[in-house]
Amino acid sequence: MTTTSRQRISTRTLVLVGLAVSLVLAGIISFYASGHPDGLEFVAHKLGFADSAGSHVSDGSPVAGYGVQGVHNARLSGGLAGVLGVVLVGAVMYALTRLLRRRSSH
Amino acid sequence: MHVPDGFLDAPTSLATAAIAAAGVGLALRGARRELSDATAPLAGLVAVFVFATQMLNFPVGAGTSGHLLGGALAAVLVGPFTATLCLTVVLLIQGLAFADGGLTALGTNITLMGLVGVWVGYAVFRAARAVLPRRTSSVPLAAAIGAFVSVPAAALAFSVLFAIGGQAPIEFSTLAATMIGWHTLIGLGEATITFLAVASIAATRPDLVYGARDLVASTHDLEVRTGALA
């Protein structure tokens, strides 16, 4: 199997397409995600230890629970929170990889 | 899978925080060897994709849902050390900004998803690669197998932690069986998403896929190898 002869897309294009897909998933598709408790929450309820969960120190965050405080449209609120998350995660990870590569080149 | 504050007692949370700190420390060293100018942008993309996909809970029946953990996916695409960093960044943002996963449980969540999920997923991926035919098309399949195993493995790790420092008297065997049972179902979703994501990048840019490096004889690789020998 030769891969060198195949028509390839640039890294830049690949990352931009991936970023666009992630923004659509977090900003739009996330609205349709299942609202049921996840595996751990479900098991915690079933076996009776869900109550031991404390309140979260970040509950006062303007985007706590994947919704923007003050935005009442659920679709918009969740979508904006998702887009903000994508931007935050991308920025932090990008900064971290830059830092690691600069240090390793010395 | 995000453990909230209060499930585990303080000593256990401190212990997992120490494990997570040690693991992330090692990952910061190891990731330098994995990251190159070509693959560094992919690391950012992988973290972003894992965050976005973790928002997409899929139903697994009986009023339960699951979401991607992303450890195996990240490890196959960018390498296990970098994958640990990707998951750590995702969990940090989720805990701090979105109140998802407790802050005293951050070490626990990094241990479960960023260490157990990533490294079990990657080890099973390598084992599957060793058995499957040596071609690029084996890579997404091996990644899916690693992803499938990584989810019940993380569920088992949680059960062990809960047996040590859980704030409720639950029988270990009951908890482990229930956790593993549901998370095996969630693992099927994990495997499907991982297969699709790895397959789409392996089809377009196999040279960027960490877990397929040995299969791709690009000119860049040859240069690197010659350089290493010289």
**pLDDT tens string B146-185:** 999 999 999 999 999 999 999 999 999 999 999 999 999 9
Does some domain include residue A90? yes
Give the mutation candidate from A3, A14, A40 for the B interface (greatest B CB count, under 10 A).
A40
Yes or no: say if B92 and B113 are a contact pair by the CB < 8 Å rule.
Answer: no
Do A16 and B38 contact (CB within 8 A), yes or no? no
Instruction: Tell if the CB–CB gap between B204 and A14 is shorter than 8 Å.
Output: yes
Instruction: Please name every residue paired with B66 in a beta bridge, in sequence order, or none if there are none.
Output: B58
* Per-residue confidence band for B25, with pLDDT thresholds at 50, 70 and 90: very high
Token pair, residue B20, equals: 């997570």
Query: A105 falls in which pLDDT band (50, 70, 90)?
Result: low
What are the tens digits of pLDDT across the range B128-150? Answer: 999 999 999 999 999 999 999 99
Q: What's the distance, CA A96 to chain centroid?
A: 17
The residue length of chain B stands at 230
Question: Who among A38, A81, A82 is closest to B57 (CB)?
Answer: A38
- Does A94 map to a domain? yes
Choose among B38, B56, B93: nearest Cβ to A89. Answer: B93
- pLDDT category of residue A103 using cuts at 50, 70 and 90: low
pLDDT tens, B92-118? 999 999 999 999 999 999 999 999 999
CA A71 to chain B, closest CA, distance in angstroms equals 15
Please give the Cα distance from A43 to A36 (Å, whole number). Answer: 12
Check whether A36 has a pLDDT greater than 70: yes
Domains and CATH numbers, chain B: 10-229 (1.10.1760.20)
The two structure tokens encoding residue B75: 């490890």
Q: How many domains does chain A have?
A: 1
Start-to-end CA distance of chain A, whole Å, equals 38
Query: Cα(B19)–Cα(B33) distance, rounded to whole angstroms?
Result: 22
Look at A97 and B136 and tell me if their CB atoms are within 8 Å.
Answer: no
Q: Does a structural domain hold residue A32? A: yes
Q: How far is CA B203 from CA A7, A51, B17, B32, B55, in A?
A: 10, 47, 38, 26, 26
Chosen from A96, A98, A104, A106 to mutate, greatest number of chain B CBs within 10 A: A96
- For strands B64-66 and B58-61, give the pairing: antiparallel
| Nearest residue to B98 (alpha-carbon basis) of A21, A32, A69 | A69
* Residue A37 belongs to some domain of the structure: yes
How far apart CA A91 and CA A100 sit, in angstroms, is 14
Please tell me the distance from the alpha carbon of residue A38 to that of residue A25, in angstroms, as a whole number.
18
Q: Of B222 and A27, which is predicted with more confidence?
A: A27
Boundaries of domain holding A41: 11-51+59-105
The torsion region of residue B118 among left (phi > 0), alpha (psi -120 to 50) and beta comes to alpha
Alpha carbons B96 and B99: distance in angstroms, whole number: 6
